[in-house]
Amino acid sequence: MAEPIKVGAAGDIEDEEALIVPADTAGWDDDIAVFFSDGKYYALNDTCSHEDASLGDGWIEGDEVECPIHSAKFSLCTGAALCLPASHPVRTHKVEIRNDEIWLYVGVPADGQEG
Amino acid sequence: MHAQPHDKGVSVTDINDLVDLDKGSLKGHMFTDEDIYQQELDKVWRRAWCFLAHDSMIPKKGDFLQNFIGEDPVLIVRQKDGSVKAFLNQCRHRGMRICRVDQGAAKAFTCSFHGWSYGLDGSLIQVPREGDAYPDDFDKANYPARPIPRLTNYKGFWFGTWDEEAPEFEEYLGSAKYYLDGYIDRWDGGMEPIAFHKWTLPNNWKFMAEQPTSDMQHSEITHVSAGQVLNKGSDAADRTLRGDNPTGRQFFSDYGHGGAWYGEKGSEVPNTGQAMQKWEAQPEIAEQIAKRLGDNREIRGHLNIWPTFMVLGNYTIRVTHPRGPGHQEIWAWTFVPKDADDATKDSIRRDVMRTFTPGGMFEGDDALNWEEMQEVLHGRIARDSGFTYQMTGAPIQWDEGPYPGGSTKHVFSDNAAINMYSNYVDMMNAENWDELKQLREKHRMGKSN
């Protein structure tokens, strides 16, 4: 299991906003968006599975994010595509809050998700 | 100067054949002619500074408003860094409206036809199938939404022009700056709109533009019944205080702006609603106004910044959009001082609602005149006969007392209308802003240069 990386402090991300961890920093093949919504943290591959768009720039509400470009929705918990025009899921990553710090487990699926 | 034919064999209506300002005569054709109208879209609307939005309409990043410059739909968008950008609301792909709603908040604007997507700044950020169905040399950077190249924020009000050569907005305002400030720059807390109405009227846009520019005199006839009723109302200005032979003044500015108000310095009469008068009479507010505007602060009545940004003393603030030679669309906001108490704001709202909204009494009075005028112009004889602008008895004064620029020591005068049409004709004749500036200097009224 990969070592987690610290991406910020609790409070750095406002409610219904996201922080983008660049691919280089994450050591991953895509930017990773870390979302904060309704008191919970989530992380997904930032790029929409439909076309080239940043989900971190999207509309975040509850446990869903809507792509800002063509309005495909994804589950923040599972990465599942919830409506067209997307039909493929996006990858989740595990996020943990330790000592008021946000730690991202790059490549580790969110709890309960298959890799 | 005569306009050139569009195409071989097709003659073009020449505005100079329709206007004789020395005789104070305008021919009806200029309010009905399709060819004149098309020239206006090109020579007036793409050249003038036009009202786009107020800061309070788009407070947060991503907030946007759709408006028009002439017939061209534009989007005005608050950027992530707090600045504002504006661009033509037309997709560069197949010309669909990029954004189909009037107002809202966006992260991006995606055309609902094929999905070309534009950032808040109008840059093309996403083209569906770019990777697999477009050639490698297709470059999104070549297809941004067409930006409005010149934007300015004047005391919270955003104006824009398509013309890169237009003078700075304050130069365009000229002497009108002083008078406009008398309405919009009075209070430390600024202004906000609290009501908004849109409607269309079956008349040429210039009929309405002329009125807040120059025509106070119609009100004592057209609006006499409504005025009688409203004088008993708790919200309205008491119009009986103006007397049978009212004092007042009218101003006009080089680029067609104008306005007028009742009363004069030292013997002011109320031009605003009663709640506004009461609120402004509070010592701390009065002090704010005096500090911001000096001792001459009651110059409110009606005003138009050419072409169609209109402000009235009871705080209907509006812009109108031409819709062909025979129709116009009115977008009218009710503005209030942001710091005013709720009861004052609501009183201003009620007063405007009763007077200058689609169901307002003054608005209905005016609409009847303009609709009838347009109807009559269906007649061929009627179109050939002239309208008369001869109410020029009171002399024009320049930089008189506290009043900058040209003004007339009478609240009733055609001078500002003649000036407005003089600017209009110069815009229609001039090929560019440099020429226009020269023409305006040459045609400055009542002043020997």
CATH of residue B276's domain is 3.90.380.10
Interface test with A, best of B91, B109, B110, B124 (most A CBs within 10 A): B110
Measured distance CA(A82)–CA(A75) in Å, rounded: 7
Is B107 within 8 Å of chain A by CB? yes
What is the dihedral sign for C-alpha B194, B196, B41, B145?
positive
Cα-only R_g, chain A? 13
Is B80 within 8 Å of chain A by CB? no
My answer on whether B238 and B265 are in the same domain is yes
Q: Does B291 reside within a domain?
A: yes
My answer on whether B279 and B242 are in the same domain is yes
Residues spanned by the domain of B96: 50-152
Q: Which of B89, B117, B152 is the last residue of a domain?
A: B152
Is A14 within 8 Å of chain B by CB? no
CATH number at residue B123: 2.102.10.10
My answer on whether B387 and B258 are in the same domain is yes
| Cβ-Cβ contacts under 8 Å, A46 against chain B | none
Name the H helices within A33-109: none
Beta-carbon contacts of residue B247 (< 8 Å; ≥ 6 apart) = B262, B263, B264, B267, B269, B411
| Cβ-Cβ contacts under 8 Å, B131 against chain A | 52
My answer on whether B98 and B200 are in the same domain is no
Name the H helices within B312-360: 342-355
Name the H helices within B250-319: 274-281, 283-293
Measured distance CA(A15)–CA(A13) in Å, rounded: 7
| Cβ-Cβ contacts under 8 Å, B115 against chain A | 51, 69-70
Give how many domains chain B has, as a whole number.
2
My answer on whether B405 and B284 are in the same domain is yes
My answer on whether B196 and B330 are in the same domain is yes
Shortest distance, CA A71 to any CA of chain B (angstroms): 9
My answer on whether B191 and B137 are in the same domain is no
My answer on whether B279 and B385 are in the same domain is yes
Is A2 within 8 Å of chain B by CB? no
Residue with tokens 């560069």: B92
Measured distance CA(B337)–CA(B408) in Å, rounded: 30
Is B125 within 8 Å of chain A by CB? yes
My answer on whether B128 and B246 are in the same domain is no
My answer on whether B207 and B100 are in the same domain is no
Answer for the pair A70, B111: CB distance below 8 angstroms, yes or no: no
In terms of CATH, what superfamily is A5-105?
A: Rieske [2Fe-2S] iron-sulphur domain (2.102.10.10)
| Cβ-Cβ contacts under 8 Å, A17 against chain B | none
What is the residue-averaged pLDDT of chain A? 93
CB contact under 8 A, A70 and B117: yes
pLDDT confidence tier of residue A80, bands split at 50, 70 and 90? very high
Q: What is the ipTM of this complex?
A: 0.72
Per-residue pLDDT, B230:
86
Shortest distance, CA B106 to any CA of chain A (angstroms): 8
My answer on whether B392 and B281 are in the same domain is yes
Q: Does B37 reside within a domain?
A: no
Question: What angle separates helix B342-355 from helix B361-376, to the nearest 10 degrees?
Answer: 30
Any idea how long chain B is?
449
Shortest distance, CA A4 to any CA of chain B (angstroms): 31
Token pair for B313: 């003393």
Residue A70, pLDDT > 60, answer: yes
Q: Which of B126, B152, B178 is the last residue of a domain?
A: B152
My answer on whether B232 and B336 are in the same domain is yes
HEC-encoded secondary structure of B74-106: EEEEECCCCCEEEEECCCCCCCCCCCCCCEEEC
Q: Does B163 reside within a domain?
A: no
Q: Which of B105, B122, B152 is the last residue of a domain?
A: B152
Q: Tell me: the pLDDT tens digits for A5-19?
A: 999 999 999 999 999
Residue A103, pLDDT > 70, answer: yes
CB contact under 8 A, A57 and B107: yes
Question: pLDDT tens, position by position, for chain B (449 residues)?
Answer: 444 444 555 567 899 999 999 999 999 999 999 999 999 999 999 999 999 999 999 999 999 999 999 999 999 999 999 999 999 999 999 999 999 999 999 999 999 999 999 999 999 999 999 999 999 999 999 999 999 999 999 999 999 999 999 999 999 999 999 999 999 999 999 999 999 999 999 999 999 999 999 999 999 999 999 988 887 778 888 888 888 888 999 999 999 999 999 998 888 888 899 999 999 999 999 999 999 998 777 899 999 999 999 999 999 999 999 999 999 999 999 999 999 999 999 999 999 999 999 999 999 999 999 999 999 999 999 999 889 999 999 999 999 999 999 999 999 999 999 999 999 999 999 999 999 999 999 999 987 54
Q: Does B60 reside within a domain?
A: yes
* B256 φψ region: left (φ > 0), alpha (ψ -120 to 50), beta (else): left
What does residue B94 show for φ and ψ, rounded to 5 degrees? Answer: -125, 15
Q: Does B83 reside within a domain?
A: yes
Domain residue ranges of chain A, discontinuous segments joined by +: 5-105
CB contacts under 8 A, A 20-79 vs B, are 51-53, 57-59, 68-71
Shortest distance, CA B114 to any CA of chain A (angstroms): 10
CA distances from B250 to B174, B185, B243, B257, B261 (A): 15, 20, 17, 11, 7
Residue type, B212: P
